[in-house]
Amino acid sequence: MKRKFSIILLSLILIISMSACSRLPGKDTPDIVPNDGENGAQDNIKAEKSLTLYYSDADAMNLVKKDVMVDIQDKTIEEAIIDKLKEETDDERIYPVIPMDITIINVRTEEGTACVDISSENLYGGSSQEQFIIAGIVMSLTELENIGKVQFLVDGNKVETLMGHISIDEPFTRDNIGIPVVEY
C-alpha cells in the first residue's frame, strides 16, 4: 500500500512539475520589460517615432513634406521636432528650415498652442529665410494632434517680428502660412 501511495504521489508531483514548466500556446517570446530608467542596459535604447516634418526645397519656393524618424529620448516631442528641423537630411533636394546657428531656448505647449522661444543671438536673415523658419516650424508642430497654433517668442518675449519682415505678434495656424507644400 505504501509503495502504491508513493507511486501515485510521485506521478502527481511529476505531472504538476511538467505542466508548470510548459509554455502556453502562442507564448513563444519573453515579455518585454518597459524601460523605467533603473536597468542600465536598457537606458541606451533609442526611442524613435515616425513624424511628418516640413523642410525647404532647394529654391526656397516650396515646403517639402517628408516622413522622418525622430529621436524623442530625453526630450519632449516638440523639442525633438525642432531639433530635427535643424539637421541636414539624406535627400539633397531638401534643406533644414532652421539654421544651425539659431538657438531655440524652449518649446512648450499650453492649451493647444505651442510656444517656440527663440534666442535673439544670430537671429537675422532675409524675408524668405524668416518665412521658411516660421512655416516649417508651424506646419511640423501642427502635425501633432494636440497643437493647433504656434506662438513665437524672442528671448521669452512677444515681439513684432523674428527678423524684421513677418509679424509674429499673434499665433500662426496651418491656414495662414501661405507657402505651397510639395512631396517628393
Identify whether 36 is part of a domain: no
| SS percent in the chain: helix, strand, coil, step 5 | 30, 25, 45
Classify residue 40: in a domain, yes or no.
Answer: no
Range of the domain at 134: 45-183
The strand ranges marked E within the chain are: 48-57, 63-71, 94-95, 104-110, 113-118, 149-154, 181-183
Could you tell me whether strands 63-71 and 48-57 are parallel, antiparallel, or unpaired per DSSP bridges? antiparallel
Give the pLDDT score at 184: 85
| Cβ atoms of 68 and 86 closer than 8 Å | no
19 in a domain, yes or no? no
22 occurs within a structural domain: no
Distance (Å, whole) CA 4 – CA 2: 5
Give the rounded distance of the alpha carbon of 117 from its chain centre: 18
At 47 the pLDDT is: 86
Task: Please compute the mean of the pLDDT values over residues 36-40 and round it to a whole number.
Answer: 41
The grid coordinates of residue 147 equal 497643437
Which positions ≥6 away from 100 have C-beta within 8 Å?
86
Domain-embedded: residue 4: no
Tens-digit pLDDT profile for residues 153-169: 999 999 999 999 999 99
Q: Is the pLDDT of residue 39 over 70?
A: no
What pLDDT, on the 0 to 100 scale, is given for residue 13? 56
Report yes or no on 7 lying in a domain: no
The pLDDT, as a whole number, for residue 9 is 52
